[in-house]
């Protein structure tokens, strides 16, 4: 059912090529020739035939083509991501992973489009084995959306090798990675200069379709004056063009005016019923008979559609379960302008009919659109008020905001409830000032109307916007006001929401005890409501608050409640995040084994639900643990992975955190230069985001580096700043580390009183935390200070003993640090997994007999190749044993098609071959390709050729020659190289067969000459088992048997020969070649 829904949507269907449209093979060939490029960009103004070209290519290529015709709704990045998936799903209906994701996204308003795009790319990589083309048409429609450009940029930077994009647009897209792709020669492009009709093409076209003869000069002038518009004009072969073209040849003017003139001429010569139909249906981007009937009130819509298609009136058919049609956009714009100028009242009526039609079909959003463009604003607002919660729930904030923005302010200002969502839209777009402005206005409106519940909800939303701006005090104020209103007028659910918002606002201020109190009250309300989702969410918030306050048992209790809730709901996505927070709690407690185990569980679920943010958190947590365990290389790998993921989903705080902690890891490794670079990079971002904890971490590491460099005063200043920030952020663990290093600096300067004062503070903090493990690595470099502590009394002596015991326990190999946990992804520093760097080194091919190919000792099934050509390409390249040009490979595998189309096949086949073997199985150097020379290959056919060659290089009387020929003959079997039926393969078979029989005859003659007739006979008999249709061998056998006096065997050989070749034996018998045997048979 899902496939049927997508397959009939013209948005995802390749337009059907029409015979009337000129096919420009040079441009189709260009797309074929560059099919290996990640991006082919077709950029030109309207009327250059971009869509027609891509449709011609789609019809010409053997590759699968996914098609997306971008529309206005795709300006919303979530809608764009959904459209990408549906275009894929149209051609690959078994693409399950992104299907689950899109379904999940539609149910979660806060899910980000970055996660959707990441899942789609991941789905292509894991769920689509074949090489395919993704066409994105009319991308300029979404040029006003930076997020959509970012989404496409994300796709291009992570594009799997089996997917190639062809994108058409009227303007150069603002893609961040485009300059890099161009510098890497990973982009091919067509512009107006390439797309416009040449004078020769114009002459050929006019002659072919219109029987018009024009001179070279006239064709050249048309080429110069048209500047590409002629592509649109020539979309039709209507007979009236003959006269029009003759008139055009004598006209001058701008291309748009000339187009309007010609389009007007075409339109005016149509019957009135056709004119009326064209104007009415031009309001649709795509239309079928049903929606045409709704706006024209005509009973013979199907006949009219056939007629306009027969007249080739700028219309393209889009095939599906039922046919859809689309006007060329220039002609559609002409029709729309015409009706808007000449009959605006009718245009409004048409939009109203379209709105009513879509509403009857249940397509409320299209109904809203047509009501808006038809100036029926109140009707649009009425529908929008019913649909707004659904749009918000699906997270389509850009779509929602775009609809409201199209409605004049005087209409929308009367709909305060809608403006509440409009403010949310601005908040999601990061326009917090605009959101606050709208909310402030409608708060007063709700207050004056006495609609106190909506007033409280608007106050809560303003609290969110104020928190985002860093105005935490004002955010607390609004949340308090909302709470006071809900207590008097709101429902229990409203009160719980208000407590929740107030708790978050207090958390932003670092007032965790107050945040705890409000979250508890929210929890009570949600418990009475029985809202398990909000209960689980609030338990998670309380877990975070208790963790920040160092109340680990309480944090664990609430995390467990959240985990149980998510499991009961079946919400794996939020469960992954909560498990990540639990892992962080274990880390804070020094329970490193449990931290790693739970962190891996969080990571596993985050990957399964394509939750990129939680994956980033999980990798960062694992990095923290592995660094504390002393596994610095592994820690760096985890941080790098977290950093990459954070950048993918624009998670700026995590980018800062990972950069700072990678810097700290390099500090521990002794690489101060690299450490300072990363620390300053992370600190700069933390300053921009006002992240107190991250700033404190960075200043701590920088202070330690200054101390190690002998800059004592600077070190004390920097570490003091770190302590201030971490104290304010209530980060006990990180504060203890900063104070420990401050104590060490004072100790080194012999200020023992100050050192003891700071150490007492560190001991107190560690007592609250319940462990000292996070200090061990730095404590190893402060041995003199620790010896000084040994002579102390009370808490400091116990503090010293705790550190000494833990270090001793680790040195005995009983600690987590000594027995470092290796999780499934031990990442090197560059972020790539070991598994990716490993590659098989042995390939065995048995080309004689049944074709069998083994990779690392495991057989490769025929189904793994995807096509027989992929296997043939492998055999061809394997047999060459040296680099071959792409042109030679294409000529061998596809000798009877054009070079451009062969190029397209080459890259899709190469992808299939890599999928069957390994991504690194082929080494490319420019246009030269060869099998990976670092691998080992066992190829019996190659060994046979080499053995024959070595034998031929020896003298005929050399005994080793006989030995080599015997080895070659023994190895040879039929069939050779399976059923590959290609000219190069057939030629190879002929050469191998010839070499085999030459070797057989030479061996037979050699054994006969040496007097070993039995061995000579044996060689021939065994050879006939390989191929019994060798007439010459039968004759030779019969002669040998006769010479040996074995007449019975000679007669038997003759009978075998006759049974296979029939009476043809009489011809050879009469020639005297076997006369003795024949005479014996007569007697």
Angle, CA 340 vertex, CA 268 and CA 400 arms, to 5°:
135
What's the mean pLDDT in 271-300? 89
Contact indicator for 701, 735 with CB cutoff of 8 Å = no
What pLDDT, on a 0 to 100 scale, did the predictor assign at position 996? 95
CA-to-CA dists, residue 1000 to 969, 1020, 1056, angstroms: 7, 7, 20
In a domain, 337, yes or no: no
In a domain, 451, yes or no: no
Q: Which of 250, 307, 324 is nearest to 273 (CA)?
A: 307
> In angstroms, rounded to a whole number, what is the distance separating the alpha carbons of residues 508 and 476?
9
Q: Name the band, by pLDDT with cuts 50, 70 and 90, for residue 225.
A: low
Last residue of a domain, one of 269, 289, 306: 269
What pLDDT, on a 0 to 100 scale, did the predictor assign at position 806? 67
Beta strands, E only, 51-186: 64-69, 132-137, 163-169
> In angstroms, rounded to a whole number, what is the distance separating the alpha carbons of residues 239 and 311?
9
> In angstroms, rounded to a whole number, what is the distance separating the alpha carbons of residues 325 and 319?
9
> In angstroms, rounded to a whole number, what is the distance separating the alpha carbons of residues 815 and 809?
6
Among 73-82, 633-642, 777-786, the range scoring the smallest mean pLDDT is 777-786
818 pLDDT higher than 60: no
Q: Of all residues in the chain, what percent carry a pLDDT higher than 90? A: 27
> In angstroms, rounded to a whole number, what is the distance separating the alpha carbons of residues 769 and 31?
64
Angle, CA 619 vertex, CA 616 and CA 620 arms, to 5°:
85
DSSP assignment of 434-461: HHHHHHHHHHHHHHHHT-HHHHHHHHHH
CA-to-CA dists, residue 103 to 94, 111, 465, 467, 609, angstroms: 15, 11, 28, 31, 11
Q: Is the pLDDT higher at 832 or at 395?
A: 395
In a domain, 542, yes or no: no
> In angstroms, rounded to a whole number, what is the distance separating the alpha carbons of residues 1041 and 1082?
17
Query: Residue 1022 sits in a domain of what CATH number?
Result: 1.25.40.10
What pLDDT, on a 0 to 100 scale, did the predictor assign at position 22? 66
282 pLDDT higher than 60: yes
Query: Residue 915 sits in a domain of what CATH number?
Result: 1.10.10.10
Q: Of all residues in the chain, what percent carry a pLDDT higher than 70? A: 84
Same domain? For 843 and 991 the reply is no
In a domain, 1024, yes or no: yes
Q: Name the band, by pLDDT with cuts 50, 70 and 90, for residue 821.
A: very low
Beta strands, E only, 170-228: 187-190
Query: Residue 91 sits in a domain of what CATH number?
Result: 3.40.50.300
Q: Which of 1042, 967, 1049 is nearest to 1003 (CA)?
A: 967
Mapping DSSP to helix (H, G, I), strand (E, B) and coil, where does residue 582 land?
A: helix
Q: 350-378: per-residue pLDDT in tens?
A: 999 999 999 999 999 999 999 999 999 99
In a domain, 90, yes or no: yes
CA-to-CA dists, residue 647 to 68, 114, 640, angstroms: 27, 10, 11
How does DSSP classify residue 867?
S
Helices 416-428 and 397-406, axial angle in degrees (round to 10): 130
What pLDDT, on a 0 to 100 scale, did the predictor assign at position 209? 63
> In angstroms, rounded to a whole number, what is the distance separating the alpha carbons of residues 410 and 1045?
118
> In angstroms, rounded to a whole number, what is the distance separating the alpha carbons of residues 44 and 317?
23
168 pLDDT higher than 90: yes
Same domain? For 913 and 956 the reply is no
Q: 867-899: per-residue pLDDT in tens?
A: 889 999 999 999 888 899 999 999 999 998 888
Q: What is the largest CA-CA distance in the chain?
A: 130
Contact indicator for 422, 412 with CB cutoff of 8 Å = yes
Same domain? For 951 and 892 the reply is no
- Preceding amide of 975 cis, omega within 30: yes
1 pLDDT higher than 60: no
Beta strands, E only, 742-857: 842-846, 852-855
244 pLDDT higher than 50: no
Same domain? For 180 and 225 the reply is no
Same domain? For 897 and 840 the reply is yes
What pLDDT, on a 0 to 100 scale, did the predictor assign at position 298? 80
pTM value is 0.58
What pLDDT, on a 0 to 100 scale, did the predictor assign at position 678? 92
Domain tally, the chain: 5
Helices 652-669 and 632-648, axial angle in degrees (round to 10): 160
Q: What's CA 998's distance to the chain center, in Å?
A: 56
Same domain? For 795 and 856 the reply is no
Last residue of a domain, one of 921, 940, 959: 940
Tokens of 284: 């649709």
Q: Is the pLDDT higher at 781 or at 227?
A: 781
Q: Name the band, by pLDDT with cuts 50, 70 and 90, for residue 571.
A: confident
828 pLDDT higher than 60: no
Tokens of 962: 């006989």
In a domain, 370, yes or no: no
> In angstroms, rounded to a whole number, what is the distance separating the alpha carbons of residues 490 and 522?
14
Same domain? For 947 and 935 the reply is no
Tokens of 247: 């008139």
In a domain, 914, yes or no: yes
> In angstroms, rounded to a whole number, what is the distance separating the alpha carbons of residues 556 and 560?
6
253 pLDDT higher than 60: no
The residues near 1041 (Cβ < 8 Å, ≥ 6 apart) are 1017, 1047, 1049, 1050, 1053, 1077
CB atoms within 10 A of CB 217: 9
Q: 916-969: per-residue pLDDT in tens?
A: 888 889 998 888 999 998 888 999 999 999 999 999 999 988 889 999 999 999
Q: Name the band, by pLDDT with cuts 50, 70 and 90, for residue 1065.
A: very low
Contact indicator for 929, 884 with CB cutoff of 8 Å = yes
For residue 906, what are the domain limits? 834-940
Tokens of 112: 């980000």
322 pLDDT higher than 70: yes
Same domain? For 150 and 250 the reply is no
Same domain? For 62 and 183 the reply is yes
Q: 1027-1050: per-residue pLDDT in tens?
A: 888 889 899 999 999 988 889 888
What pLDDT, on a 0 to 100 scale, did the predictor assign at position 998? 94
What's the mean pLDDT in 182-210? 78
Same domain? For 978 and 1052 the reply is yes
Last residue of a domain, one of 917, 940, 963: 940
In a domain, 295, yes or no: no
What pLDDT, on a 0 to 100 scale, did the predictor assign at position 866? 80
How confident is the prediction for the chain on average, in pLDDT? 81
Q: Which of 186, 222, 187, 168 is nearest to 55 (CA)?
A: 168
Same domain? For 186 and 132 the reply is yes
Among 116-120, 256-260, 325-329, the range scoring the smallest mean pLDDT is 256-260
Q: 473-529: per-residue pLDDT in tens?
A: 888 999 999 999 999 998 888 999 999 999 988 877 667 788 899 999 999 988 888
Same domain? For 224 and 177 the reply is no
Contact indicator for 740, 717 with CB cutoff of 8 Å = no
């Amino acid at each position: 059912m899902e496939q049927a829904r997508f397959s009939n949507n013209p948005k995802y269907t390749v337009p059907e090529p029409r015979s009337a449209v000129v096919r420009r093979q040079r441009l189709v060939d260009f797309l074929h020739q560059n099919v290996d490029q990640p991006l082919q960009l077709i950029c030109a103004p309207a009327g250059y035939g971009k869509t027609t070209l891509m449709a011609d290519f789609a019809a010409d290529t053997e590759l699968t083509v996914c098609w997306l015709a971008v529309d206005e709704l795709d300006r919303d990045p979530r809608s764009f991501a959904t459209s990408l998936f549906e275009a894929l799903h149209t051609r690959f209906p078994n693409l399950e992973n992104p299907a689950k994701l899109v379904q999940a996204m539609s149910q979660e308003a806060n899910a980000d489009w970055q996660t959707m795009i990441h899942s789609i790319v991941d789905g292509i990589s894991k769920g689509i084995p074949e090489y395919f083309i993704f066409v994105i048409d009319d991308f300029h429609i979404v040029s006003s959306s930076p997020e959509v450009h970012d989404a496409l940029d994300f796709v291009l930077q992570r594009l799997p090798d089996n997917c190639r994009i062809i994108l058409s647009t009227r303007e150069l897209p603002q893609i961040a990675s485009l300059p890099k792709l161009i510098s890497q020669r990973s982009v091919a492009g067509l512009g107006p200069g390439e797309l416009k009709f040449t004078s020769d093409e114009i002459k050929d076209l006019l002659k072919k379709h219109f029987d018009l003869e024009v001179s070279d000069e006239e064709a050249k002038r048309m080429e110069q004056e048209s500047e590409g518009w002629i592509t649109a004009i020539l979309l039709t072969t209507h007979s009236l063009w003959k006269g029009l073209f003759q008139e055009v040849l004598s006209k001058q003017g701008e291309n748009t005016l000339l187009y309007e003139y010609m389009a007007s001429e075409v339109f005016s010569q149509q019957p009135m019923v056709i004119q009326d139909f064209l104007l009415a249906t031009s309001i649709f981007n795509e239309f079928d008979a049903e929606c045409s009937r709704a706006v024209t009130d005509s009973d013979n819509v199907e006949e009219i559609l056939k007629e306009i298609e027969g007249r080739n009136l700028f219309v393209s058919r889009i095939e599906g379960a039922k046919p859809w049609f689309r006007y060329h956009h220039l002609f559609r714009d002409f029709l729309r302008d015409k009706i808007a100028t000449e009959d605006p009242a009718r245009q409004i009526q048409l939009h109203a009919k379209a709105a009513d039609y879509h509403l009857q079909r249940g397509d409320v959003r299209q109904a809203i659109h047509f009501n808006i463009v038809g100036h029926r604003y109140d009707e649009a607002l009425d529908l929008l008020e019913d649909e707004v919660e659904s749009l918000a729930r699906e997270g389509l904030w850009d779509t929602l905001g775009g609809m409201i923005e199209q409605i004049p302010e005087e209409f929308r200002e009367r709909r305060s409830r809608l403006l509440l969502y409009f403010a949310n839209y601005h908040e999601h777009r990061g326009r917090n000032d605009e959101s606050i402005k709208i909310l402030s206005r409608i708060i007063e409106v709700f207050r004056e109307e006495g609609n106190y519940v909506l007033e409280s909800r608007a106050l809560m939303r303003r609290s969110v916007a104020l928190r985002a701006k860093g105005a935490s005090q004002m955010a607390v104020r609004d949340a308090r006001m909302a709470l006071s209103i809900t207590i008097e007028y709101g429902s229990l659910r409203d009160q719980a929401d208000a407590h929740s918002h107030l708790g978050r606002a207090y958390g932003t201020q670092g007032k965790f005890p107050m945040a705890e109190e409000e979250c508890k009250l929210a929890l009570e309300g949600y418990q009475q409501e029985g809202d398990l989702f909000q209960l689980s969410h609030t338990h998670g918030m309380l877990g975070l608050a208790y963790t920040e306050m160092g109340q680990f048992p309480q944090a664990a209790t609430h995390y467990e409640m959240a985990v149980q809730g998510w499991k009961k709901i079946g919400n794996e996505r939020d469960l992954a995040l909560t498990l990540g927070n639990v892992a962080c709690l274990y880390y804070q407690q020094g329970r490193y084994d449990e931290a790693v185990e739970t962190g891996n569980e969080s990571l596993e679920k985050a990957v399964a639900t394509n939750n990129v943010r939680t994956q980033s958190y999980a990798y960062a947590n694992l990095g923290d643990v592995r660094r504390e365990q002393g596994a610095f290389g592994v820690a760096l790998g985890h941080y790098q992975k977290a950093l990459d993921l954070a950048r993918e989903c624009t998670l700026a705080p995590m980018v800062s955190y990972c950069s700072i902690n990678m810097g700290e890891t390099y500090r521990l490794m002794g690489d101060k230069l690299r450490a300072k670079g990363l620390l300053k990079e992370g600190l700069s971002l933390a300053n921009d985001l006002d992240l107190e904890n991250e700033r404190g971490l960075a200043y701590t590491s920088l202070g330690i580096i200054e101390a190690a460099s002998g800059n004592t005063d600077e070190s004390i200043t920097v570490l003091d700043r770190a302590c201030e920030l971490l104290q304010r952020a209530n980060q006990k663990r990180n504060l203890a580390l900063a104070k420990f290093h401050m104590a060490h600096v004072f100790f080194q300067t012999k200020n023992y009183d100050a050192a003891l004062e700071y150490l007492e503070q560190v001991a107190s903090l560690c007592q609250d935390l319940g462990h000292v493990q996070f200090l061990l690595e730095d404590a190893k470099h402060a041995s003199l200070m620790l010896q000084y502590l040994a002579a102390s009394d009370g808490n400091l002596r116990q503090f010293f003993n705790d550190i000494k015991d833990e270090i001793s326990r680790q040195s005995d190999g009983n600690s987590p640090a000594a027995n470092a946990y290796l999780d499934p992804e031990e990442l090197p520093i560059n972020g790539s997994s070991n598994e990716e760097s490993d590659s098989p080194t042995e390939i065995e091919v048995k080309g004689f007999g049944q074709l069998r190919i083994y990779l690392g000792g495991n057989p490769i099934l025929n189904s793994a190749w995807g096509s027989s050509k992929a296997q043939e390409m492998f055999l061809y390249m394997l047999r060459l044993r040296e680099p071959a040009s792409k042109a030679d490979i294409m000529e061998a595998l596809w000798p009877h098609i054009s070079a451009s189309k062969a190029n397209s096949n080459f890259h899709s086949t190469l992808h299939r071959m890599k999928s069957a073997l390994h991504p690194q199985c082929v080494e490319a150097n420019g246009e030269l390709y060869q099998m990976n020379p670092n691998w080992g290959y066992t190829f019996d056919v190659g060994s046979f050729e080499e053995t024959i060659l070595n034998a031929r290089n020896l003298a005929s009387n050399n005994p080793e020659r006989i030995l080599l020929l015997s080895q070659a003959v023994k190895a040879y079997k039929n069939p050779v190289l399976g059923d590959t039926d290609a000219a190069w393969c057939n030629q190879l078979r002929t050469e191998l067969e010839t070499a085999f029989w030459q070797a057989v005859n030479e061996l037979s003659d050699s054994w006969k000459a040496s007097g070993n007739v039995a061995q000579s006979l044996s060689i021939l008999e065994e050879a006939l088992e390989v191929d019994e249709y060798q007439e010459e061998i039968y004759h030779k056998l019969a002669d040998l048997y006769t010479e040996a006096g074995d007449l019975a065997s000679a007669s038997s050989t003759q009978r075998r020969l006759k049974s296979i070749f029939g009476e043809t034996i009489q011809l050879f018998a009469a020639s005297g070649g076997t006369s003795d045997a024949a005479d014996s048979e007569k007697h």
